[in-house]
Structure 1
Amino acid sequence: MPGIVTITTDFGDIYPGIMKGVIASVSSHIRTVDITNSIPQGDISQGAFILQYASASFPKGTVHLAVVDPGVGSGRRALVILGEKYWFVGPDNGLLLPAARAQGQFRAYEITDLKFFEKSVSPVFHGRDVFAPAAAMVAAGDSVPGLEEIFDPVDLDFGVPVLEEDGIHGQVIFVDPFGNVITNIGGTALGGLLFLGDTVEINGTAATYVTTYHDGGAGDLLLLTGSHGMVEIAINGDRASEYTGLGRGDEVVISVRERQSDGR
């Protein structure tokens, strides 16, 4: 039976609905699920992070359709990626690679004939004329014509945190709707260096290393591992992004100020 197609775009409203119409025209049995259509316009990095984070919550065989495509109409390639659990469909600009790589091994294919579904392909709406029909065909169990395997898809990563004498240096990769500041520092790495309750410094400002948002008092600056597995900075009852002034791409330095005095 036809499966699920998720949609992640920077399109806002209107255009995702049109893409869903194309998907339904391929098979009315395909279920579509919006992950988000509110990625900041052209922000490939944020789209890649959200796709990587959200895609893993879906059943095996789900097709993840993602379009954040400032290079639409240029020479950038159109991709279908087959992974160990999921398929990914979208532009070859790095948007798909973090999510594809996170699930294990994958194989990438270029859609060599963009007119496989529509004979008149808009140079500015590949989401409708190329990616939506390709995703629907995969979800319906059909073959996308003209796929050719490639071995050099455009990659994207979120940087590598570095341990230095003054602490762990990382960077902000996302600010969520609650104002929580998500970094590229893995929670497991930080958990090996800190004890719960430790007082740390985040760019020179004191914070407490905790498990949940409510482990500190109202207004306290907190450091914890979020549901995505990455270290994030939060404030109990407030927006850490506004308090710290941190935004995507900013450097974050985390260092220990004071250990818990419990004999450890």
Structure 2
Amino acid sequence: MPGIVTITTDFGDIYPGVMKGVIACISAHVRTIDITNAIPAGDIRQGAFILQYASLSFPRGTVHLAVVDPGVGSSRRALVILGEEYCFVGPDNGLLLPAARAQGQFRAYEITDLEFYRKAVSPVFHGRDVFAPAAAMIAAGESVPGLREIFDPVDLDFGTSALTEDGIRGQVIYVDPFGNVITNIGGDVIGGLLFLGDTVEINGASATYVTTYHDGGAGDLLLLKGSHGMAEIAINGDRASEYTGLGAGDDILISVKDRHPAGR
């Protein structure tokens, strides 16, 4: 049966609708679901994180179409990645690799003939002319012609946190729409080192390690394990990103300031 195609882009308005039109032309039965079209323009790293996080919540066999493609029209390759659980379609710039790794084993293929669907391929809109048709064909149970297996897709990771004498050093991956600051420090790592209620310092700012956003008072800076499994910095009722000044790519240091009495 025709399946699902998700869409993740930095396109904003209009262009995702055009891509959906192409998908409908190939199969009116393929269902399209937007993950987001609000990735900041050209922000491959944020797009990769959102895709990795969101893709795992879809049924087995879903095709994830992702286009954050500042290199469109260049020599960068167009990819189809076939995995144990999902398929990923998009540019070969690292956007797809974290999500592909997260779902299990996979094999990567280059689309060698960009004109497999449309003879007049726009050099600036591969989302419409290459990626959307490929995703629709796969979701409809058809084969994309001219695929060539490759073994060197462009990789991307979110850096590695490190335990030092000062505490845990890491980096901000993403600031969500609520101003919550998501880090590359695993939530389980934090949970293994801290007790609930511990007071920590995050780049010098005092925060409390908690379970939920409402475990502190209004305006309190909090550290918790987010729904994505990563350590997250938040404020009860406010925007942690504005309070701390932290943004994507910034370095952070989390250190213990005071142990909660119950944890001693």
The answer for the alignment partner of 1:15 in structure 2 is 15
Structure 1 gap ranges (5+): none
The answer for the alignment partner of 2:84 in structure 1 is 84
Distance 2:79 2:56 in 1: 19
Amino acid at match of 2:28: S
Distance 1:77 1:84 in 2: 22
Q: Does 1:198 align with 2:198?
A: yes
Distance 2:259 2:181 in 1: 23
Amino acid at match of 2:76: R
Amino acid at match of 2:128: R
The answer for the alignment partner of 2:71 in structure 1 is 71
**CA deviation profile, 1:74-105 (whole Å, cap 9, x unmatched):** 00000000011000000000000000001111
Q: Does 1:51 align with 2:54?
A: no
Q: Does 1:160 align with 2:160?
A: yes
Distance 2:213 2:157 in 1: 27
The answer for the alignment partner of 1:130 in structure 2 is 130
Judged with a 3 Å threshold, the aligned counterparts in structure 2 of structure 1 residues 99 and 263 are, in CA distance, closer, same or farther, namely closer
Alpha carbons 2:41, 2:68 under 8 Å: kept: yes
Query: Structure 2 length normalisation: TM-score?
Result: 0.99
**CA deviation profile, 1:131-162 (whole Å, cap 9, x unmatched):** 00000000000000000000000000000001
User: How far apart are 1:204 and its partner, in Å?
Assistant: 0.9
**Equivalent position SS for 1:171:** strand
**Equivalent position SS for 1:52:** helix
The answer for the alignment partner of 2:175 in structure 1 is 175
**Equivalent position SS for 2:262:** coil
User: How far apart are 1:260 and its partner, in Å?
Assistant: 1.2
Q: Does 1:94 align with 2:94?
A: yes
User: How far apart are 1:263 and its partner, in Å?
Assistant: 5.6
Query: Structure 1 length normalisation: TM-score?
Result: 0.99
Structure 2 gap ranges (5+): none
**CA deviation profile, 1:51-81 (whole Å, cap 9, x unmatched):** 0000000000000000000000000000000
Distance 1:122 1:251 in 2: 39
The answer for the alignment partner of 2:257 in structure 1 is 257
**CA deviation profile, 1:26-72 (whole Å, cap 9, x unmatched):** 00000000000000000000000000000000000000000000000
The answer for the alignment partner of 2:26 in structure 1 is 26
Distance 1:186 1:106 in 2: 24
Distance 1:59 1:263 in 2: 40
Distance 1:105 1:170 in 2: 27
Distance 2:90 2:121 in 1: 15
Where does 1:188-227 land on structure 2 (aligned, <5 Å)? Answer: 188-227=188-227
Count of residues paired in the alignment = 264
Distance 1:262 1:135 in 2: 53
**Equivalent position SS for 1:21:** helix
Judged with a 3 Å threshold, the aligned counterparts in structure 2 of structure 1 residues 263 and 179 are, in CA distance, closer, same or farther, namely closer
User: How far apart are 1:262 and its partner, in Å?
Assistant: 2.3
**Equivalent position SS for 1:228:** coil
The structure 1 segments of at least 4 consecutive aligned residues displaced by more than 6 Å after TM superposition are: none
The answer for the alignment partner of 1:243 in structure 2 is 243
Judged with a 3 Å threshold, the aligned counterparts in structure 2 of structure 1 residues 150 and 141 are, in CA distance, closer, same or farther, namely same
Judged with a 3 Å threshold, the aligned counterparts in structure 2 of structure 1 residues 193 and 68 are, in CA distance, closer, same or farther, namely same
Distance 1:205 1:87 in 2: 42
Distance 2:219 2:37 in 1: 31
Q: Does 1:186 align with 2:186?
A: yes
User: How far apart are 1:261 and its partner, in Å?
Assistant: 1.2
Amino acid at match of 1:94: G
Distance 1:156 1:125 in 2: 23
